[in-house]
A = this chain, B = another copy of it.
C-alpha cells in the first residue's frame, strides 16, 4: 500500500450496539436477551461486526462500595484449566448467537483471572469473538483505570472505584486480525514477499480500548503503530464531571453533559484522525438507578468525521457501511509514520509518569 494511492475497496457493515441502563435489579438473563435482540436486528441489516459497551452485562458497579462475596456476581471467571471466558455460562449464549448469525462481537466484561496458585486477579476486560473462527481472537485488559482505590470520604462524594476492583491491564495494546471479516483478504500463504505490499490487503486489523483509555493518545498510537484499521471501544461515562474530592462540578446538568460529550468526541474523533483508523465507540447510557450516563455512541471515519451517531439513550443499533481502504488516504500521506515520526524526541513519554515542571525562575 505504501506505493499505491488507490487501494482496493474492502467494504464491511459494522454496528455499535448501544445499551440503555442496566439497573442493579436487572438479571443477567434480561441483559443477554436485550443483547441478542440487537444481534438479530444487526443480522437483518447485514452487519458483520457488532460492538457492545464496557462491562456490558451488569450495571456499572464501580460506582458502589461492594465488599466480600457480594462482588462475585459481577465477575466472569477465566480459568485456564477450564477454558477461557467464552465458556462462562453468562457470556457463551451471546457468542453462540453471534456464531449462528455470522457476526463478530466485541464485548466488555469484568474478568476474574484464576492464577496457577489458585488466587485471582481481576481486570476490566474486553474480548473479540470471531464468528468465522468460532473463537476469541483478541483480548484486552483496560490499562487506564480511573477513580480511586479507597472510597472518597467527604459527604456526598461520588464514588468511582475501578482502581479498587481491577488491576491495570497487563497485555499492553495488542492489535490482531479478524479472520474473514472482509471477503477476499490476502492470506499469508499467497502474500507478496514484500511485507509493505500486503498492507491494506489482509484480514482487518483491529484494536480494542475500554472507556477512559480513549482519552489517552499513547494507547491509540501504540495501536496506530500496528496499522490498525478499526478501533473498538465500549464505555460507561458519567454525564457530569467531578472534582478531585468526588463532588459534582457546579454547572447545569445540560452544560455538564455537553462538556462530557465534547471530551468524548474530541478523544474519539481526534485520535481516529491522528491514527487514520475507523473507530466504533459504544455507550452504556441512560440513568442506571438514577445515575446518569452519557450516550454519544459514534462511528468515526479515519478522516475524523462522525459517520453515524446514536439518537437515543436506550438500546439502539447504530449501523454504518464502511470501506477499510479509506484508512490509506491519511496512512500514506499526513500520517505516513515512517516518514515523519521523530522518536528521538519522544523519550519522556516512556521515561516519566507524572509531569516534571521547568524550574521556578
Contact = CB atoms under 8 A, between A and B. Distances in A.
Interface of A: 5, 143-146, 168-169, 172-173, 175-177, 179, 185-188, 191, 195, 198-199, 202-203, 205, 212, 215-222, 224-227, 241-245, 249, 259, 262-263, 266-267, 269-271, 273-274, 303-305, 329, 331-338, 340-343, 345-361
Given A175-B358, A215-B274, A343 B351 contact: yes
A361 B187 contact: yes
Contacts of A337: 353-355
Given A176-B358, A186-B360, A343-B350, 8 more contacts: A5-B244, A144-B342, A217-B220, A218-B349, A222-B346, A226-B348, A227-B358, A343-B353
Contact of A199 (B198, B225, B346, B357): B357
A357 B270 contact: no
A333 B263 CA distance: 14
A242 B5 CA distance: 11
B274 A332 contact: no
Given A225-B356, A358-B205, A304 B266 contact: yes
Contact of A355 (B220, B226, B244): B226
Contact of A356 (B227, B262, B305, B331): B227
Given A146-B334, A341-B218, A304 B349 contact: no
Contact of A267 (B173, B219, B270): B270
Contacts of A271: 217, 270
